[in-house]
Amino acid sequence: MRKFWIVFFLIAFTTAEAQDFIDKAQINGSFQIDGQFYRPDDALGITDSIIGGRKMGLNGYGNITYTLGKFSAGMRYEAFLTPLAGFDPLQEGNGFPYLWASYQNDFVGVTVGNFYEQFGNGLILRSYEEWTLGYDNSINGMRVILRPSAGITIKGVYGTQRYFWQKYENGNRGIVRGLDAEVDLNQTIKGWESAAVRVLVGASGVSKYQKDNDPLYNLPENVGAWAGRLNLSAGKFNFATEYAYKINDPSAINNFIYHEGQAVLSSLSYSQPGLGVVLQLKRVDNFSFKSDRRVNGNAVDINFIPPINRTHSYSLAARYPYATQPNGEMGLQFQLNYKIPKGTALGGKYGTGIAVNFSQVNDIVRNPINDTTLVNTSGTLGYTSDFFKVSDSVFFRDFNIEIEKKINNKWKAVIQYMNLHYDIATIEGHAGEPAVKAHIGVIDLTHKFTSRKSLRMELQGLFTEQDEGDWAAAMLEYAIAPRWFFNVADQYNYGHPDADKRNHYYTVSMGYLKESTRVALTYGRQSEGVVCVGGVCRQVPASSGLTITISTNF
């Protein structure tokens, strides 16, 4: 093999045509290393035996893309040696899970190898990766994208999904096949080019094949799903909706019931400079869709059911994040963004930004299929459900207001209030625990000393009678833009019902940035909690020690 490459390069560099391979090509890439050194910490209950010799964790990757005109190829190396605390132990390993090559022109695009794809909102197909969560469900196979004429896109995908480091062989998980078509009517229908209403329609179908080896049940080996979507925009209004349907698909997630699946996602918004309003509605009924029906965790998802609630940025506001309940939920979200104009009494010299957000998610109503069968009994149709009925059981409610204000050239402020209802028993699986009802407040102040030097102060409070009780948090960050930052922070669980667990979770960190290279060091404690990005969440255990992050891009 090595000889082959040597010969290859000798030829490559001595022929004129091959010079293009080098001269006109572009290479881009990125690297990231997250390392942690753990230490025992009696107060947090972390002992040497819990660490179990794994004093160091490392998650790292390197990504390289090669492009020559219409051809490109890329690869990603990953190492989890051992994975950081809180990552799935199946993540442990190293190798090249992402290798691909592709050719594309205006008419056709072909990719072989690993790829990421999404149809519509992803209700029946979405492959993506989220490094911070260790989530990757890339498809290994082929993808063809056709653009036969302006405004028409047709996509076809075929392959198997990544399941950590386990290679696909002998049908150890399913095969995924999908087709999607999207038409922009304004570009395809004569006379609609400059119509006031902009219309986009799309339809997709996905099928999964997995052999039925179940000794008990007769399971569908081919599970089909389809979806249709519509986007309408007219002036300041925008309407988008998608409906998806899946045939019965008994799985570990739905307790092996033969119920069909449905999902709907709709949004209506109005916006003009200075004002934006949006209302979103969602209904999900038995819509987990995985390429292995036996998998229960966050892996091999074929589809993506987006949670529709605000993803919070401040640590205590983000302490109780919602995760989609694929077996059934009905939700709505409302958001208003308004900028009080400059020069008014409330707007002041620079204007004031206001954001109001409300979301609530309830369970769906499930009725028994007959008088003698309990709801959700394995091997049965499970239940019947009225499409428009909402259960009284509230999974999640979040009402929050945020005000942003530039006070003068030296000071900026963000103030946030949040009222939360969080069904911890359902969302985190803490059976029997009462729902967390909390008030959360955040004050974020930035003071500018000079044009480059600034100090940011964050004060947060979380007040609740449930779970771990009250928290307070404070943070100070001094930055010398664009190179340096120094940060000290403490989260104090002063209201923990168990007086021995009223811990401080302090951290000290600093970082250096140059262009796209970032080096950061953090020493301290991480509290137990849930980290969510883009709809997937991961439980993070308490830890104590030193963290180093290096990332760069070229």
Closest CA to 63 of 26, 109, 29, 92: 29
Structure tokens at 57: 């964790």
Stretch that binds other proteins, among 210-218, 376-384, 388-396, 448-456 (CB under 8 A): 448-456
> Of 312 and 525, which CB lies nearer to other proteins in the complex structure?
312
Q: Which of residues 518-547 bind other proteins (CB under 8 A)?
A: 518, 534-535
Half-sphere exposure of 231 (CA within 13 A, CB side): 12
CB atoms under 10 Å from CB of 539, counted, come to 11
Give me the residues paired with residue 222 across strands.
209
Q: What is the CA radius of gyration of the chain?
A: 26
Q: Which one of 19-27, 218-226, 285-293, 418-426 is the stretch in contact with other proteins (CB under 8 A)?
A: 19-27
Applying CB under 8 A, which of residues 53, 191, 215, 273 lies at the interface with other proteins?
273
Count of residues making up the chain: 554
Segment interacting with other proteins, rule: CB under 8 A, options 287-295, 310-318, 361-369, 372-380: 310-318
- Can residue 39 be called a binding residue for other proteins (CB under 8 A)? no
Stretch that binds other proteins, among 256-264, 301-309, 364-372, 459-467 (CB under 8 A): 301-309
Among the listed residues 36, 82, 114, 121, the single contact to other proteins using CB under 8 A: 121
Cβ closer to other proteins: 441 or 541?
441
> What is the distance between the alpha carbons of residues 376 and 92, in angstroms, rounded to a whole number?
35
CB of 401 to other proteins, least distance (A): 13
Rounded to whole angstroms, the Cα distance separating 137 from 291 reads: 10
Residue burial 60-73, b: 16+ Cβ < 10 Å; e: rest: bbbbeebeeeeebb
The residue assigned the tokens 């309407």 is: 239
Q: How far is the CB of 498 from other proteins (least distance, A)?
A: 32
Residue 549 beta carbon to other proteins: minimum distance, rounded to whole angstroms: 9
* Nearer of residues 120 and 469 to other proteins, judged by Cβ: 120
Identity at 82, one-letter amino acid code: T
CB 455 within 8 A of CB 476: yes
Could you give the CA distance from residue 147 to residue 183 in angstroms, rounded to a whole number?
A: 10
As a whole number of angstroms, the distance between CA 366 and CA 328 comes to 9
451 binds other proteins (CB under 8 A): yes
Q: Measured at the alpha carbon of residue 17, what is the angle toward residues 16 and 19, in degrees to the nearest 5?
A: 70
- Please tell me whether residue 96 binds other proteins under the rule CB under 8 A: yes
CB of 131 to other proteins, least distance (A): 7
Q: Strands 453-464, 139-146: parallel, antiparallel or unpaired by DSSP?
A: unpaired
- Choices 50-58, 172-180, 370-378, 452-460; region in contact with other proteins by CB under 8 A: 452-460
Regarding 408 and contact with other proteins (CB under 8 A), the answer is no
Interface positions, 47-76, toward other proteins (CB under 8 A): 63-67, 72, 75
Which of the residues 144 through 183 are near other proteins (CB under 8 A)? 153, 182
Q: Using the rule CB under 8 A, which residue among 157, 206, 265, 440 binds other proteins?
A: 265
Which residue lies nearer to other proteins by CB, 169 or 371?
A: 169
Which of 195, 275, 374, 508 is in the footprint of other proteins by CB under 8 A?
275
Touching other proteins, residues 358-397 (CB under 8 A):
none
Which positions from 229 through 258 interact with other proteins, judged by CB under 8 A? 231, 233, 238, 240
Q: In b/e form, how buried is each residue of 306-344, taking b as 16+ CB within 10 angstroms? A: bbbbbebebbbbbbbbbbbbbbbbbbbbebebebbeeee
Quote the least distance from Cβ 268 to other proteins, whole Å. Answer: 9
CB under 8 A: which stretch of 46-54, 379-387, 393-401, 446-454 binds other proteins? 446-454
Judged by CB under 8 A, the number of residues near other proteins is 102
- Among positions 179-208, residues that touch other proteins (CB under 8 A) are 182, 184, 198, 200
Q: By CB under 8 A, what part of segment 413-442 binds other proteins?
A: 414
Which residues, at least 6 apart from 413, have a Cβ–Cβ distance to it below 8 Å? Answer: 403, 404, 405, 407, 443, 444, 445, 446
Helices 2-14 and 16-23 sit at what angle, rounded to 10 degrees? 100
Quick one: which of 126, 173, 259, 366 contacts other proteins (CB under 8 A)?
126
